[in-house]
Chains A and B, each alone.
Chain A
Amino acid sequence: MTIDLSQFHQTFFEESAEGLDEMESGLLALEIGADNNETINTIFRGAHSIKGGAGTFGFDAIAGFTHVMETLMDEIRGGNKELTKEIVEAFLQSVDCLRDMMMVEQHHEEHDMDRVNAMQVELESLLHEGKTEEEIAAIDEEITEDEFEALLDQLHGDSGAPTVETPAGSGEFPSESEYQEILDQLPGGDDRGCNIRFKPHPDLMANGNDPLHILRELEGMGDLTVHADLSGLVSFDQIDPADMGIAWDMKLITDASEEVVKEAFAWVEGACDLEIKPFGNITEPADPAEKENTMEAKAVTQTVPSGEAVVESKPAVQQKPAPEKPVSEKKPAASQAPVAAANRPKAGSGGDHAEVTSIRVGIDKIDALINMVGELVITQSMLSQLGSRFEMNDLPNLVDGLVDLERNSRDLQEAVMRVRMVPISFAFARFPRLVRDLGNKMGKQFELVMLGETTELDKTVMEKIGDPLVHLVRNSLDHGIETPDVRKAAGKPETGTLTLSAYHQGGNIVIEIKDDGAGLNKEKILAKARERGLVDDDEVLSDDKVYELVMQAGFSTADTVSDVSGRGVGMDVVQRNISGLGGSIEISSEQGKCTTVTIRLPLTLAIVDGQIVRVGDQIYIVPLISIVETIQINDEQINAVAGKAEVLRLRESYIQIIRMYDVFSLESKVTKLSEGLLVVVEGDGQKAGLFVDELLGQQQVVIKSLESNYERVDGVSGATILGDGTVALIADVSGIIKLAHELGLTDRMGLVQDGKDTAAASA
């Protein structure tokens, strides 16, 4: 009976993603601090679990790759190898590679085997660095009994069509040194081998071949002594790195036949001078089996079927990528990584798949829920009992019961909302890595401080806030914080500090991104705005308004555009995303000193705290988060601009008046401004005053979608059901402001003048 394992795949992917995240934080921590055994253990365990799981589910590529990582980590934790910066970097890239491999498996796509192979070879080279043959053999000892038996069988078996079966699905494969062990045990004679003189032609490397790789291969066949002949090299100033000027004299003690040794040079046959002189007794070609194995040992994945005959045994898949990628050079691998990173779908943001996402909830929250539901049931049965035989003198009990019911419902509502809340640390988690990578890339020094990571917010909000945050952080790092010399010249510490903090305020969560960089250059921004016609030449804007200009589409004062930022395509998207979540964004800055971006978001998307207002005979809800204040005004305080639009002077600025009944085409008996109320609201950075008939209480309302059965309505963000069962529309403040403008009820959007009386003053 076979069990269908695919139902567990999703869990595997989720747990592996978590494991990878843990590994990444561990690696970053290791980089900074001293060797911490516990962290190393965590990383090891992470790789080990993933390897095991992948093996169980048949994800062989992942299993094989993780095996190498695990082996290397094992060496380090056993004290046999020292943790170097190189290794950490290689591991970090491996984690990236693994993440992509997981994504690939999840979507049933093809693995990018070139990348995987390159990464794996790099890890292996780090693993085997500076070790003798025996030590290498000692490391890779994980061959199982069965595999060993199987290999022995094959070796003693017939030649002809030797096939090597790599153990499928076991997640482990024998390495070259295991084959070495096998070889050593085979009946051997005196030393025999070949003397090889290998002189590549100058253009050997240009054809994509790497002599080092060939040397390695030979090394795998037996005992290799190499003497490099540098006589062919030209003087240093004439040297062309792509040209091959070195020749090698080698002595290889091996049981392999001359044929097989020659095979190692198959790729470069035309591009070199090759002399192979065998000595001693060469064994029969019946042994190509194990030579094949040796070469197979270079196989980086079991999923590639091994060839049949010797000739085919050089599967193009395996050998070909290898020579073309000079593995001893770190550079290609490194340059691959940023490309890979760039192409990598944003990890950690949950992706945009229409999959069912899951959430982890602490047991304590669930217990609280169960308790509350219990109390609710008790209250309900009490009320039904009252209701079944109700007499008027039961009335006080009924009232009490209803009070209890209200309390229970409210508690339950809060508890359920809390279930959906996750700490913002999930969104912040990607920043240490991002900051570090960008620091290296830009040549700047950054220190990242994260505060309030345990602050909780709604899971959906958190997933959607990830990308805007990344964009803002990149801006700070790219444009805000200066290079170390500039900072030093300005008397600042060379290391720039980026502070991410989150805290609750009122019914919202506030996220601040603060950098101690160069701040925003007001003049530059204004100049740019004037240049683009967004601002009149003689207009005077308050500082806040200037900073807000930065969020216009296409706005950028960057002198140079890097691939990180500067193109002016970000800030307006950020603002739109945040508005879409029902939040607001503010920028403040001190030139030369710092810049702070403050994001305010509602704690949950499904519920809004609203102010109930009446306009004519209709009820509307205005979200409290948008309301600044409510005031009573009279006609004298109003000025009319261009004869039509009305503005009110409110402290230092003028705000436009929007008569709700006009915008919503309602009839209202209340048209005199003194008879109604003005609700001053803020949306998309603009302030406006909404004129309504009266205020009716505040309430928390559940947002119901209008679009599911009707369509999107401008100025309305949704609907809710009031206590009497009727539907009330929820006002979308930015939408209303836009609507008012479109309807010609107000003058130009947004920028209102400071301190200047408008020409058409008065009644």
Chain B
Amino acid sequence: METAVQMEEEHNLEDESRQFLTFTLAEEEYGVDILRVQEVKGWAPVTKIPRSPDYVQGVLNLRGTIVPVVDLRMRFHLDRIDYTRRTVIVVINIEIDAGRRVIGVVADGVSDVINVPVENVKDAPDFGTKVHTDFISGLATIDENMVMLLDIDKLLTAAEIKGLDSLA
């Protein structure tokens, strides 16, 4: 538990740091804005959607709502692995042109919630057209580990859903 003093310090820093939920994927750490995370679910079987991009695994029933599940490995063009009992789905709220959506993101496992002061965030280097990194809002260094901060609104833009097939 934080002391009152510590909490106050954090409030003072509020403008300058944000909180992220980190999760691992293919041994790399990624972070998503904690305010956008709705819940973390254990893995459950999904229903495939015909003719959807390969990174859209399918849809899931989340207490009555149909939620699409995205496998970031495929989104990042990594190899697919089998899902284990530790595989989780991070349910996040995203905002796209068409409005608010709820989507699920597959992760190997979740880690901590971290505070990242704004000055610790660096821009991701531009790798050229081969690697699209607009969904990475920045790179942060936490305890000497690099955490890739994701701009989740860009993870699943409609235009890309159609266009990505041709790239892959």
Contacts and interface: CB of A to CB of B under 8 A. Distances in A.
A727 B60 contact: yes
B50 interface: yes
A663 B47 CA distance: 16
Interface in B23-71: 45-52, 56, 58-61, 64-68
B102 interface: yes
A721 B101 CA distance: 19
Contacts of B50: 663-666, 713, 715-716, 729
Nearest to A660: B50
Given A664-B50, A705-B66, A711 B161 contact: yes
Interface in A697-739: 704-706, 708-711, 713-716, 719, 721, 725-729
B88 interface: no
B164 interface: no
Nearest to A725: B61
B158 interface: yes
A713 B51 contact: yes
A721 B68 contact: no
A709 B101 CA distance: 5
A708 to B, nearest CB: 7
A709 B68 contact: yes
B66 A618 contact: no
A615 to B, nearest CB: 10
A721 B103 CA distance: 17
Contact of A726 (B45, B51, B56, B65): B45
B68 A710 contact: yes
Contacts of B64: 704, 721
A708, A715, A725, most chain B CB atoms within 10 A: A708
Interface string A52-79: 0000000000000000000000000000
A725 B50 CA distance: 20
B47 A727 contact: yes
Interface string B100-115: 0111000000000000
Interface string A428-451: 000000000000000000000000
Nearest to B47: A727
Contacts of A664: 50-51
A715 B65 CA distance: 20
A705 B59 CA distance: 11
A716 B49 contact: yes
Nearest to B60: A727
A665 B51 contact: yes
Nearest to B99: A708
Interface string A585-627: 0000000000000000000000000000000001100000000
A619 B60 CA distance: 14
A664 B47 CA distance: 12
Nearest to A727: B47
Contact of A708 (B49, B61, B66): B66
Contacts of A726: 45, 47, 61
Nearest to B158: A711
A721 B61 contact: yes
Contacts of A706: 49, 59, 66
B45, B49, B66, most chain A CB atoms within 10 A: B66
Contacts of B102: 709
A693 to B, nearest CB: 15
Contact of B48 (A618, A705, A708): A618
Contacts of A729: 47, 49-50
A709 B51 contact: no
Interface string B108-149: 000000000000000000000000000000000000000000
A709 B66 contact: yes
A719 B101 CA distance: 16
Contact of B52 (A619, A663, A713): A713
A664, A706, A727, most chain B CB atoms within 10 A: A727
B105 to A, nearest CB: 13
Contacts of B103: 709
Contacts of B161: 711
A721 B45 CA distance: 13
B49 A713 contact: yes
Interface string A652-680: 00000000000111100000000000000
B47 A719 contact: yes
A704 B66 contact: yes
A727 B59 contact: yes
A727 B46 contact: yes
B66 A710 contact: yes
Contacts of A711: 158, 161
Nearest to A718: B66
A686 B161 CA distance: 31
Contacts of A710: 49, 56, 59, 66, 68, 101
Interface in B51-101: 51-52, 56, 58-61, 64-68, 101
A727 B61 CA distance: 6
A708 B94 CA distance: 12
Contact of A704 (B52, B58, B65, B158): B65
A619 B158 CA distance: 26
Contact of B47 (A709, A715, A728): A728
Contacts of B65: 704, 708-709
A713 B161 CA distance: 12
B47, B52, B58, B102, most chain A CB atoms within 10 A: B47
A714 B51 contact: yes
Contacts of B58: 727
A335 to B, nearest CB: 46
A666 B48 contact: yes
A705 B48 CA distance: 15
A312 to B, nearest CB: 55
Contact of A709 (B45, B48, B67, B158): B67
A614 to B, nearest CB: 13
A192 B128 CA distance: 101
A716 B58 CA distance: 13
A727 B44 CA distance: 11
Contacts of A618: 47-48
Contacts of A665: 50-51
Contacts of B56: 710
Contacts of B68: 709-710
Nearest to A714: B51
A719 B68 CA distance: 12
B84 to A, nearest CB: 20
28 contacts: A618-B47, A618-B48, A619-B47, A664-B51, A665-B50, A665-B51, A666-B48, A666-B50, A705-B66, A706-B66, A708-B65, A708-B101, A709-B65, A709-B67, A709-B68, A709-B101, A709-B102, A710-B49, A710-B66, A710-B68, A711-B158, A713-B51, A714-B51, A715-B50, A719-B59, A727-B47, A727-B59, A729-B47
Given A719-B66, A726-B61, 8 more contacts: A618-B47, A665-B50, A705-B66, A708-B101, A711-B158, A711-B161, A726-B45, A729-B47
Interface of B: 45-52, 56, 58-61, 64-68, 101-103, 158, 161
Interface of A: 618-619, 663-666, 704-706, 708-711, 713-716, 719, 721, 725-729
Q: Which 5 A-B pairs have the closest CB atoms?
A: A664-B50, A727-B47, A710-B68, A721-B61, A709-B101
